[in-house]
A and B are shown apart, each in its own frame.
Chain A
Amino acid sequence: MRTAMATWLASMATIFVLLALFFLEWRLLVLTLPPLVYLALAGARPLLAPTLDVVRKVSSERSPIGQEITVMLRVANRGRRTDFLELFDTVPRELAVPKGRPHLALALKPGEEATLLYTVVPQVKGEFTIGPLVARNMSPSGLEYEEAVDPSVSTIIVPPPLEDLRRAKIQPRRTRRWIGQIPSRTIGLGTEFWGLRDYVPGDEIRRINWKATARIDRLVSNEYEGERTGDVVIVLDAREEAVVGPLAASTTEHGVRAALAIAAKVLDARNRVGLIVQRNVLDWVYPAFGRKQLIRILDALVRVRPGGEWSFRHVAWALARFFPPNSQVILISPLLDADSISAVTEIAARGSAVMIISPSPIEIERAMYVDEPTLQIAYRLLRMERENAVSTLRRFADVADWDPREPLATALRSVTPWPRH
């Protein structure tokens, strides 16, 4: 392969020829000789692509944001001697490289080994691949190289941080038939006292209300309010137009954090949780119970990258078509466009209880700029506009207007508790 410098030399020689032609001055042709000779000499000795054995080791394949991961790359030359070998390990831009460098230039004798050591720090959540390794046998002329690509890659999974929602109250409005933790306003298995009835054979002894039995002189049993499970579907708006802020602190990243925290909290209370992510494609995880479901949801959330421009109304369609009816829908969206607002009304019109958690794009943008009087005016105008949109939505849904600089639990506490049906 020729390098850009070869093109530069050839262009320079061509310009000298054209200059000589323009001025009809033969001595200008002399200038074309060095580039021509250099190009000819550089191509005289053929280069071979390097033949290498490559082993890459990472200190941790699963790491939280901000933690250092050491990458060790051992390269052994299995071919001829290479006098000028350049190694480039491909590192995604989301991983900062604070120590070392994924690039090395060295000479390797046959059978000789070299170790490249560097450290990466994940800046955002996601699934990242380090590699492939590109090895170039460079010509000393700087005009030519031959390349070999080692296809092996190492994958690093960086989960989003989990928010503490222990004190927040999130539960579905409507219950299903399975035993859970949500009071269902029907008689059944539970711990909350509901009423009294005559004893019937088969009632447990511990359910007999002895005080009432003594008062009316016949056996009376306690009845309890049944505690059931419910379905929650978390909808995450990760469209291109819903992204505001820098990569590591964008509305989408905050949305992912909120989705994971809510899923963990709701699953912990023995409810079914499903997930829909609208980005380039519509990803979904069908509602299910338990720890495995949390891992499935985490797996889907780790891969969320903002993208896609199609209408948010597809979510309403997917919810109606593929998800259990009357599920509690928790929509996580910055509510930047009319489309997301109309999607909320559509979901609510189909009978689902809707809760909206909206990471405020205004607060994210405000944190990015220096506080100036003009920006203050702009902030106040945008704030009013947003408050109008939120108050409109409060007619159909519970809305938590979340300043992402504060804990999510604080925003959830400000939401009026859902009435039970």
Chain B
Amino acid sequence: MAPSLTKAGWVRTVSRGLLAGLGGWTALELALSGVPEAWAIGGLSLLVVVACIEHGTRTAHAGWHRLGRVVLVIVFVSERLFLFGLDPFAMIAFVVLLIGLGVAQSLERTFAPVYAVVIDPAVLRMVDAAAVGTYARAFALLCMTFAISLLLVFLLPLAIVQSPTLFAAVGLSAALVALITFLALPPRLGRNSPARSTRRRAS
């Protein structure tokens, strides 16, 4: 029995579709701006994005995927900042889709090689269950992220920092960076956490 290359193809299609969507969105806005310099610089940068991500997909190297996403976000933020204006709804949607692209690329790097070699129907069923479940949960998580982020934009009085003093701006930035660091750290560092007590129990 041959390995399921169609499923490996589907896994790749998800991330390529997201990349096409994000790249197309940025390209469209660049085209609509009507500034030749923006077309040239933005177009070139988008080509770099596609090249990086394609290379990352071929070599299954996360670094190239990450570099491609960084260049993409730089192009999008720049054109929003200097050409199109900062629309919170569109920006949140773009960043959520960008996170989705990161997740899809990570899952692609995991599942595509597995689908390329698994032939045992019993194991294939378990791989399918993991892939479908993970994609569904990731999609749900992204939808929740989008909804909560929108809600926060409307609830939080971000406008108060529209013309802040330097002291207030630095203070707010420091607080936000501290919050980011806290959230980025592993959630359980306590000694008696359930994760630590069960670690290395496999025998």
Contacts and interface: CB of A to CB of B under 8 A. Distances in A.
Interface of A: 1-10, 12-14, 17-21, 23-43, 46-54, 79, 83-86, 99-101, 103-108, 112, 114-118, 133, 135, 138, 140-142, 144, 146-152
Contacts of B200: 49, 148-149, 151
A4 B161 contact: no
25 contacts: A4-B62, A5-B103, A12-B73, A14-B180, A17-B177, A23-B81, A24-B169, A26-B162, A27-B91, A30-B158, A31-B77, A32-B176, A37-B145, A38-B99, A39-B183, A43-B187, A46-B188, A49-B198, A49-B200, A51-B202, A53-B202, A84-B134, A106-B127, A138-B110, A141-B103
B180 A106 contact: no
Given A30-B153, A40-B183, A46 B148 contact: no
Interface in B118-150: 118, 120, 122-123, 126-127, 129-131, 133-134, 137-138, 141-142, 144-146, 148-149
B195 A47 contact: yes
Interface in B75-90: 77, 81, 86, 88
- Using C-beta atoms within 8 Å of the partner chain, give the interface range for chain B: 35 or more
A107 B129 contact: yes
A114 B26 CA distance: 44
A112 B149 CA distance: 39
SS of A interface (majority): mixed
B141 A38 contact: yes
Contact of A140 (B92, B123, B126, B133): B133
A43 B162 CA distance: 31
B183 A43 contact: yes
A42 B183 CA distance: 9
Contacts of A24: 163-164, 169
B113 interface: yes
A107 B142 CA distance: 21
A34 B92 contact: yes
A106 B126 contact: yes
A24 B122 CA distance: 57
Nearest to B152: A33
Contacts of B114: 101, 103-105
Contacts of A7: 184
Interface in B3-56: none
Contacts of A14: 177, 180
Nearest to B95: A34
Given A27-B88, A30-B88, A50-B202, A101 B141 contact: no
Contacts of A25: 81, 86
A147 B195 CA distance: 9
Contact of B145 (A13, A38, A133): A38
A421 to B, nearest CB: 63
Contacts of A12: 70, 73
Nearest to B66: A8
B111 to A, nearest CB: 6
B201 interface: yes
B180 A10 contact: yes
B141 A41 contact: yes
A54 B137 contact: no
A28 B76 CA distance: 12
Contacts of A86: 110
Nearest to A42: B141
Contact of B201 (A47, A51, A101, A142): A51
Given A8-B66, A34-B149, 14 more contacts: A9-B99, A12-B70, A26-B162, A29-B158, A31-B77, A36-B179, A79-B198, A84-B134, A86-B110, A114-B123, A133-B202, A138-B110, A140-B133, A140-B141
A35 B169 contact: no
Interface in B144-203: 144-146, 148-149, 152-153, 158-159, 161-164, 169-170, 173, 176-177, 179-181, 183-188, 193-195, 198-203
